[in-house]
Amino acid sequence: MNLFLIIWGAATVVGLVLLIVLRPDHHISWLVIIASLTAFAVWVSLPSNPGIHIDLNNDGEYGVDRDLEFRQGLDLAGGVKILLEADLPDNETPPAGSMDEVRHIVESRIDSLGALEPTVQLQGERRLIIELPGYEDPEGATSLIKETALLEFVEVPGPIVSGTPILTSYAMERSGGEPEATEEEAGVGLDAPDFAADDTVYETVMTGEILENATVQSDQTGEVMVAFRLTPEGDTQFAEYTTEHVGDYLAIVLDGVVLSAPRIQTAITGGSGVITGQFSLEEATRLATQLRYGALPIPLSVESTSTVGPTLGQISVEQSIRAGIIGIGVILLFMLVYYRVPGISAALALLVFAVLNLMVFKLVPVTMTLPAITGFLISVGTAVDGNILIFERLKEEVRSGKKISRAVEVGFDRAWTSIRDSNLSTLIICVVLYGFGTSFGAAAVRGFAITLALGLIINLFTAVTVTRTFLHFIMLPLSDEMLEKRRWLLGL
């Protein structure tokens, strides 16, 4: 694999050097670049591709570690579908904008699950539909979506053993005088004991609202911890408190359970810190996600969860692939029959167009759903449309009396503006569709817009540069006199 990348990189450099040393329209330079790019695209597109794993320092650790696989959406790969509803009285309507805020927070939390292309959209005024392709744990997803980690910095009189549940003033205030955490809810995976028998309520100094970000890190011993960064206001508040309470104890409490209770040795003014608690990687990731995205403005209840199997998706993929192969085959046959010699270059350029798209789908990566596949197939039509514009213009130039070689150059040059303008106008539509999908949760529309837009951009390269380069070398053995006598070779 590394040998292939080395050879490919060398060929690409040679092509670029030729392009710089020679003139920009030199066909040999472009042929080398096209061949190199196509070889890499074919390698990336292979189903058995091992991915890119490069040990830069030769120390056994990959500096570049990337698997290359096609990502499939819920309709193709299966996954989890969850229906949530605002946990409010039946006659109470959520405040204006609150459910939209819930949707944004849920989307942010879902990203940490590694779901491929989640669909989160509102249904009416109280419901939220969530689709998680490739995810197999409905309970874990629901728990992360609904729960919020309550982080408190609590003033305590002395050291407290990690894992000890305590009552805090802020938690008591939120729960109306009752302890908010329970044995099942406390500790984010810690084995916490029952709540303390005494009714001591410890004063909450600050809460997790002062946090700006939280990430998972590990120290030199490999212990997993959650590093946090404070907001400017939180930094000031934290610095003032620690300056005034040097020598006192400040407990870090999560959901009513003490994670640690360090003694303030000096004023802390760095604006950041860490939370330790013998976390597993999964527990630390979950905690960081909950702290990072905060509380939901409205409580949610689960109406239903279901697991979608990939059986229908497999059938859809097979039918889509079959339809795509048949469609591309018919297009290639049409170009060869109708345009003859130019059609050969167009057919080759179309194959390059297809593998370049597949390469981009893996590298970006793009989540493949049925609408996304539809967008790709439509982009194939636009690629052929560009070649048709060029060849029809070429025919017009030949009929006007120009020599074949000159007609080819003029045909490409004059067709370029039409191809550019038509593709740009469609790209604008793709931007609108993508914005619609992002704003209203229509992920299917968004996937369609992405694949269609990528196809249009790649087409600007293949329809003109690739087709022109191939046509140049195909016509090298054919003189203008030969083509004038055998105009049928040009489809005339």
pLDDT per residue as tens digits for the range 77-115: 778 888 888 877 777 788 777 787 777 777 766 765 655
- Residue ranges and CATH numbers for the domains of the chain are 1-69 (no CATH), 79-145+303-308 (3.30.70.3400), 151-287 (3.30.1360.200), 310-490 (1.20.1640.10)
Do 85 and 303 meet the contact criterion of CB atoms below 8 Å apart?
A: yes
Long-range contacts of 405-409 (CB under 8 A, 24+ apart): 405/475, 405/480, 408/468, 408/471, 408/472, 408/475
Measured distance CA(410)–CA(383) in Å, rounded: 20
pLDDT at 284: 78
What the block records as the tokens of 224 is 């997993």
pLDDT band per the 50, 70, 90 thresholds, residue 198: low
| Residue reference for tokens 């890190």 | 217
pLDDT band per the 50, 70, 90 thresholds, residue 194: very low
pLDDT surpasses 80 at 243: yes
Residue 319: what residue type?
Q
pLDDT surpasses 60 at 189: no
pLDDT band per the 50, 70, 90 thresholds, residue 197: very low
User: For the ranges 54-68, 87-101, 445-459, 475-489, which has the lowest average pLDDT?
Assistant: 54-68
pLDDT surpasses 50 at 315: yes
pLDDT band per the 50, 70, 90 thresholds, residue 457: very high
Give phi and psi for 103, each to the nearest 5.
-60, -45
pLDDT per residue as tens digits for the range 129-188: 888 877 777 777 777 676 655 678 899 988 888 778 888 888 777 665 554 444 333 333
pLDDT at 464: 85
User: What is the side-by-side order of every strand in the sheet holding 300-308?
Assistant: 119-123, 127-133, 79-86, 300-308
- Would the CA dihedral through 116, 120, 121, 123 be positive or negative? positive
- Would the CA dihedral through 288, 292, 296, 301 be positive or negative? negative
pLDDT per residue as tens digits for the range 326-360: 888 888 898 888 888 888 999 999 999 999 999 99
Residues forming a β-bridge with 207: 152
Cα 397 versus chain centre, distance: 46
Among 193-207, 246-260, 379-393, name the most confident range: 379-393
pLDDT at 454: 93
